[in-house]
Amino acid sequence: MTTFAQDFIRTSAEKAFDKEHRDIINYNIGKYDVAVDRGLSRLVNLEHAKRKGHVIKWKVMENLDKLLPEFETNFQKKGGKVIWANDAQEANREILEILKKHQAKSVIKSKSMVTEEIHLNDFLEKNGVESLESDLGEYIVQLLGQKPYHIVTPAMHLNKEKIAELFNRKFGTPIDATPEQLTLKARELLRDKYLTADVGITGANFLIADSGSIALTENEGNARLTTTFPKVHIAIVGFEKMIPSFADLALFWPMLATHGTGQNLTVYNSILSGPRQAHETDGPEEMYVILLDNGRTNLLAQKEQRQGLYCIRCGACLNGCPIYKNIGGYTYDTTYSGPIGSIITPHLQGMKDFKHLSYASSLCGKCSEVCPVKIDIHKMLLLNRRDAVNQNLSTKAENIGWFFWKKAMTNRKLVDLFSGKWKNFFLRNFFAKLWGKERVLPEVNQKSFSEEWKENNGIKKDA
């Protein structure tokens, strides 16, 4: 049985040389870059907005013990119900209990990475409940039997020809159907599901403590339909999505939209504060918010690395990362891919299995540069590497190698003892495989630094 790290190395080697895949990703990210550059140019003081967002999220993490009960109290005042879930199994179990209580057989879902994190669709299918994605990108990857490729654009790895081929095979649409025709077909198929689904399930972009509300942001209107027609609405949210005040949305909504898609503001922004009230004409009869931990307290306990919980899931770090643009989203084999996934997954799912993700980086700093809440991502990657070593998770061969490297590099005589000829011999015979078959090994200078320095300064060798 292969490990996650071995699968990552094998798949990344394949994807890095898959030209069609890279062409699609670079084309889509190229369009994103143009839109985001245009969107960011409209912000008067971007750096100030980032710093403000960082400070707000810092205050949230320092005061979660007060903000979470405040949210719960305010939400319950309006008739909503709050459920606390320690892990994915508990969250799924609670959702199933709600479905059984309401004798639900079908679920309509809007886009939610947290439901992907707990593998909700698979769980519901095993328990005889039909679950259908209503976001177009999520619907497409669901039809393909795949997971979301990207945390914002789930079908980024597909071009319009591949999607047209999928719809032709599944629904008999023309093989040369345009994106507009494909969208209309999806809309036609999904509309009935909103009316007949027993339960609507969403995530939430933000939890608002002072109003006891959840905030949803989207571009298709599917979340509004998901939360309006079914009699029951379940929102499952990681507790780190908390913000203190309703007023904070004035900062976070534009920053999320601009960094996520380049828009000033996404098309649909909704604030939901509980089930339908007596004076209201639409909305669910019952509303539940499930607050999910699932390893987040492990990260919260890491004082230096809890910045990872500041993330607002805009996807900017994925789109800026040279590694992601070469190997794509599926290579990571995690719910959260790219730089942000690399820093949080080892804490959410275990350092032993996922420490390799923190090494899958050029440490160029682009991820930290583009983050709208100034998470110091490349520093977090280094801290994860440190923790992996401190937890004795390095291989025996790696430990031995670094032991002798340190021994040699801290002793000038040992450094100079072997000529460049011998050093190149060791590189070719012991490091070529680790360096990668597609990369050319560096050639070590035949002379040591000491020899070069003495020659350049006219000093005799025996001096």
pLDDT, tens digit, for every residue of 312-327? Answer: 999 999 999 999 999 9
d(CA 282, CA 231): 10
pTM of the model: 0.92
pLDDT at 117: 97
pLDDT at 463: 54
The one-letter code for the residue type at 294 is: N
d(CA 75, CA 98): 18
- Tell me the pLDDT band of 461, cut-offs 50, 70 and 90: low
d(CA 195, CA 206): 27
Report DSSP letters for 128-187, one per residue.
Answer: T-EEEE-SHHHHHHHHHT---SSSS-TTTT--HHHHHHHHHHHH---TT--HHHHHHHHH
More confident of the two residues 453 and 183 = 183
Is residue 215 within 8 A of residue 203, CB to CB? The reply is no
Percentage of residues of the chain with pLDDT beyond 90: 83
pLDDT at 436 over 80: no
d(CA 250, CA 140): 32
Q: Which of 237, 232, 236 is nearest to 286 (CA)?
A: 232
* C-alpha triplet 79, 85, 90: angle, nearest 5°: 120
Q: Where are the domains of the chain?
A: 43-294, 396-456
Q: Which CATH number fits domain 43-294: 1.10.3720.10, 3.40.50.10420, 3.10.20.30, 3.30.450.20?
A: 3.40.50.10420
Q: Is 408 helix (H, G, I), strand (E, B) or coil?
A: helix
225-255 tens-digit pLDDT: 999 999 999 999 999 999 999 999 999 999 9
Q: How many Cβ atoms sit within 10 Å of the Cβ of residue 421?
A: 9
361-383 tens-digit pLDDT: 999 999 999 999 999 999 999 99
pLDDT at 433 over 80: no
